[in-house]
A and B are shown apart, each in its own frame.
Chain A
Amino acid sequence: MNAFFLAFAYLRFHWGRSLVLVLVAALILSVPIISQVLLNGSQKALTERAEETPLVLGRRGSQLDLAMNALYFSDDRAEPVTMADADAIWDSGLALPIPLNTAFETNGARIVGTTLEYFDFRDLEVTRGRQMALLGEAVLGARVAARLDLEPGDTVVSAPQNLFDLDGVYPLELNIVGVLAGTGTADDEAVFVDIKTSWVIAGIGHGHDSVLSPGATQGDIVAAADIVEFNRITQENIDSFHFHGDPASYPVSAILLVPNDTRDATILRGRYLDPENAVQMIVPKDVIGELVGRIFRIKSLLDAVTLIVGAAALAAVGLAVFLTYRLRAREIQTAFKIGARRGMILRLLAAETVILLCFAGMIASGIALAVKSNGSALVSWLLAG
């Protein structure tokens, strides 16, 4: 008790030094806990979502990039496929195709152009407002809505693709009509729009002023540079929006496929085995399973590195404590001269170490709890990055 009293008094008096030691020790203790929490969360999030997604169609290239983009809307995107590929699946009758266009973003959130089937497929429910129904409407994931403090009735503007491209497509203002219930998945971080709205953002579809002068006939069409092109879809101008080109050529980043049964899934996979085919079909569970295996191999390496760094840091902390005892030689000598019992100095050292570790443990626990309680958000952020 006396050793703890003296140790605590010393540590409190030298609070700056003590704080540094506590923080260093807390960090050493936190790193393995944080990495374990995040890895477990990542593994769960990765495998669950992959197992819920039977097949994904996309441009041939990295299977992992395709899976990460289709499942987590990550930045890694291959060249898009076209709606013709989705139509081919639809025409085969073997699976339900759900197109995804993830080419755009707003305020750091991915804009996901898709169809209403996606919400049924992922069991996504609108908790506030309503489901999107018109061109230019958006439904927000729970965390995006909370982070940007947005509600139905508000608007968000798609991020410009290139600030220096004067000839490029203008950003589109999206009307928020609903907010989804939180699911702890990548859907919470997405802004969902109809796939046609995503094509408007891409500039494939647009609306503008009439090019006919009042009273003029079709033969008098005059287009001029000052014709206003709308970047907001309203009830007044929605009818002026139209698309150019063949709808089958419109881009989609990936297509989720929901086969009718295992047999249809097998048939579908067989149709896309040809390596010369520009389109590939992947089984996310297999791709993600391989990734998880690699992550855990890396984790074992990370654990070893953490162990080495932790040992080095603890040695540094031990050295710091030892050096303070050298600085306290006079105090120790005084204690010895006035009759300190044998081992008192060791007890003091132990008491100081225990107190430091207790505080470090409390801070590390706090960090671990904070990471754990925000684990799903952190994991979503890590996976989407």
Chain B
Amino acid sequence: MIRIENLSFSYPGGDFRLEIPRLTLEPGEKVAVVGPSGTGKTTLLNLIAGISVPTSGSVRVDDQTVSDMNDAARRALRAAKIGFVFQDFALLEYLSARENILFPYRIAAGIRIDARARTRAEQLALSCGLEGKLDRRPGALSQGEQQRVALCRALVMNPRLVLADEATGNLDPANKTAILDLMFARSSDHGATLLAVTHDHALLPRFDRVIDFSDFRQSQGGAA
């Protein structure tokens, strides 16, 4: 699903430099990324999503070389194949939960909101325990509910890859487990690969694999 080779990235004028000789994620794999702050975990997600472009090397997602694409193609790839879940949920305060879930349809090129999209959004919401909450705005939802809405938004376009950037970082323990369960279950439902940045080592055993950014080594079977 993801293949990174000889990747090198640095911000213009900055000291930070990220180098990944090789990294692969198989379709449907659930992978955690851990490591101290400032080691480049979020940068990795941005490089995979085509938000940032590597200085050298290549990033391939679903057999498409993201690093060679132009801006419009990278945007289209993100809209069609990648779902994002953020630590602060990043919901739009002025839209209802339903419209937040449908937001990717509203901003993507060439995609219309039809009855199927609405049905899919409602089914996702129901499967994430948001029954009766769809017409509420984010301000009227708990943090756990807001992250469920954000998860539905990430999955509504049926992405091949879900990128979660500390998605459980702002949640209480009960909600952390619940959201992670949902993230795993819904990603599996759709056969999506999950790449999640987390600081919560208690959650790591549940992932297929953990990438430790502190020395950038890859380990299998949940061991950091």
In the complex, A153 Cα to B28 Cα: how many Å?
A: 95
Q: Does A13 contact B (CB under 8 A)?
A: yes
Bound CA–CA A334/B137 (angstroms): 17
Considering only residues 32-87 of chain B, those with a C-beta below 8 Å from chain A are 49, 51, 71-72, 75-80, 82-84, 86
Counting chain B CB atoms within 10 Å of each CB, the highest count among A2, A5, A330, A338 belongs to: A338
Least Cβ distance of A274 to chain B in Å?
A: 78
Q: Residues of A contacting B107 with CB < 8 Å?
A: 2, 335, 338-341, 344
Of B98-106, B123-131, B183-191, B203-211, which stretch is located at the interface?
B98-106
Smallest CB-CB separation from A331: which chain B residue? B92
> Does B23 touch A at the CB level, under 8 Å?
no
Name which residue of chain A comes closest to B76, CB basis. Answer: A339
Determine if B94 and A12 form an interchain contact, defined as CB atoms under 8 angstroms apart. Answer: yes
Shortest Cβ gap from A340 to chain B (Å):
4
Cβ–Cβ < 8 Å partners of B86 in chain A: 334, 337
CB closest residue in chain A, given B91: A334
Task: State whether A338 touches B94 (Cβ < 8 A).
Answer: no
Among A9, A335, A336, the residue within 8 A (CB) of B51 is A336
Cα(A173)–Cα(B99), bound, Å: 70
CB distance from A324 to the nearest CB of B (A): 12
Residues of B near A338 (CB, < 8 A) are 78-79, 82-84, 103-104, 107, 153-154
Q: From the candidates A12, A13, A339, name the one contacting B80 in the complex (CB within 8 A).
A: A339
Contacts of B223 in A (CB 8 A): none
Q: Which residues of A contact B82 (CB under 8 A)?
A: 338-339
* Chain B: number of interface residues, binned into ranges: 20 to 34
Q: Identify B94's interface contact among A2, A13, A330, A344, CB under 8 A.
A: A13
Cβ B90 vs Cβ A334 within 8 A: yes
Known pairs A339-B78, A341-B108; A14 contacts B103 (CB<8 A):
no
B108 in contact with A9 (CB, 8 Å): no
Contacts of A339 in B (CB 8 A): 75-80, 82, 104, 107-108
Question: Quick one: CB contact mask for A1-21 with B, threshold 8 Å, 1 for yes?
Answer: 010011001101110000000
Complex Cα–Cα for A341 and B113 (A):
15
Measured CA separation A6–B71 after assembly (Å)? 23
Q: Contacts of A334 on B, CB cut-off 8 Å?
A: 84, 86, 90, 92
Q: Does A342 contact B (CB under 8 A)?
A: yes
Closest chain B residue, CB of each to CB of A348: B107
A333 to B84, CA, bound (A): 12
B182–chain A nearest beta-carbon distance, Å: 19
Q: What separation, in Å, do the CA atoms of A334 and B165 have in the docked complex? A: 12
Distance in Å from the Cβ of B123 to the closest Cβ of chain A? 20
A341 to B73, CA, bound (A): 10
**A308-360 interface (Cβ within 8 A of B):** 330-331, 333-342, 344
CB-defined contacts of B76 to chain A, threshold 8 Å: 339, 341
Give CA–CA (A12, B84) in the complex, Å.
27
A9:B109 contact, CB within 8 angstroms: no
Residue on A nearest B51 in the bound complex, by CB: A337
Taking CB atoms and an 8 Å cut-off, the chain B residues in 100-146 that contact chain A are: 103-109, 113, 137
> A36-69 vs B: 1/0 string, CB under 8 Å?
0000000000000000000000000000000000
Chain B residues closer than 8 Å to A12, beta-carbon distance? 94
Q: Give CA–CA (A336, B90) in the complex, Å.
A: 12
A330: chain B residues at CB < 8 Å are 88, 90
B106 touches which of A5, A331, A333 (Cβ 8 Å): A5
A6 to B96, CA, bound (A): 11
Nearest Cβ on chain A to B135's Cβ, whole angstroms: 13
B72: A residues at CB distance < 8 A: 341-342
Please indicate the chain A residues that have their CB under 8 angstroms from the CB of B92 in the complex.
331, 334
How far apart are the CA atoms of A340 and B79 in the complex, in Å? 7
Which residues of chain B have a CB within 8 Å of any CB of chain A? Answer: 49, 51, 71-72, 75-80, 82-84, 86, 88, 90, 92-95, 99, 103-109, 113, 137, 153-154
Show 5 A/B contacts (Cβ-Cβ < 8 Å), sorted by A.
Answer: A2-B105, A334-B92, A336-B75, A338-B83, A341-B108
Would you list the 4 A-B pairs with minimal beta carbon distance, nearest first? A339-B79, A13-B94, A339-B78, A341-B109
Using CB atoms and an 8 Å cutoff, list the residues of chain A in contact with chain B. 2, 5-6, 9-10, 12-14, 330-331, 333-342, 344
Given A330-B88, A339-B80, A342-B72; 17 other pairs, CB 8 A cutoff = A2-B113, A9-B95, A333-B90, A335-B107, A336-B75, A337-B49, A337-B51, A338-B79, A338-B84, A339-B76, A339-B104, A339-B107, A341-B72, A341-B75, A341-B79, A342-B75, A344-B107
